Structure 1
Amino acid sequence: MDANLSAHAAALWVGLHLALLLVLSVRVVGQRRRHGVVLGDAAIPELAQAVRAFGNATEYVPAGLIAIVVLAIVGAPPMVVHLTGLTLLVGRVAHAVGLSRSGGASILRSAGIILTWLAYILGGVELIFYAIP
């Protein structure tokens, strides 16, 4: 397997996840400026949702990216890296959109966390598979 192709696949997904985190961060800053809030969320629902969408992404994305990068390092096929990266990204975007629209339960939030966990399961199982000589 061409490790270079796996590394390029990992680079794509790391870059896309960084872009997602930047967008979510900019949304928080925009809400803070709009409402004149420097710290916390001042009990403003839109700001609280933006903060949690960013916070939740920062809680889940790093571990997923570690899995993606290590998959590339151990020489997993690019398709495996792409499948894990795509699943994680779609999950994180769905969750962020769902949380941004409503502070309560929603189909997008649920789908997002399920896809995120699926990416964790895929990545974890794949890494264990590649760890066995």
Structure 2
Amino acid sequence: MLNYSLEIVGVYVGLNLLINLFLAYRVSANRVRSNVMTGTGEDERLYNANRAHIVNVEYTPIGLIGLVALHLLSSSIYIIHIAGICLTVGRILHAIGLSQAARISTPPRLIGTVLTWLGQLVAGIACLYYAVM
């Protein structure tokens, strides 16, 4: 049987994979709707969906690597949850904010960014702590 912390990491990995797949689907659906297969043209909805997906792809992998490293370092399950929840909720809120308007800052986008960074900060500091101790 898998270690409990690894199962929890698996939950966050699974949720973030589904978030990414949903964002990728939105880009494809908007491409079909607007008949723009490369770039975003002048279509605002396609641009917003594309930015939400791109930014998710930029931030999610490193956050998930942090969660896996925490498991490998036998971190507290609470630290894994804090980092995982911040990352996952942050990615959802950021995508909602970017989907509303990519060219201006929205409250969900700002809160999502802060939560994502907080999740990475917690994971980074915890990795250093557990690696040294």
Using the size of structure 2 for normalisation, the TM-score is: 0.95
Quote how far apart the aligned CAs of 1:124 are: 0.5
Quote how far apart the aligned CAs of 1:24 are: 0.3
Structure 2 CA distance for aligned equivalents of residues 83 and 114 of structure 1: 14
After TM superposition, the runs of 4+ consecutive aligned structure 1 residues lying more than 4 A away are none
Deviation digits for residues 40-83 of structure 1, max 9, x if unmatched? 00121110000000000000000000000110111112222111
Matching residue of 2:112:
112
Q: What number of residue pairs does the alignment pair up?
A: 131
Matching residue of 2:63:
64
Alignment of structure 1 residues 12-27 onto 2, 5 Å: 12-27=11-26
For the aligned residues, what is the CA RMSD? 1.0
Q: Which runs of 5+ in 1 are unaligned?
A: none
Alignment of structure 1 residues 76-95 onto 2, 5 Å: 76-95=75-94
Matching residue of 2:124:
124
Matching residue of 1:31:
30
Deviation digits for residues 85-117 of structure 1, max 9, x if unmatched? 110011110000001011211111110101111
Using the size of structure 1 for normalisation, the TM-score is: 0.95
Letter in 2 for 1:117: W
| Percent pairwise identity | 35
Are 2:43 and 1:44 equivalent residues in the alignment?
yes
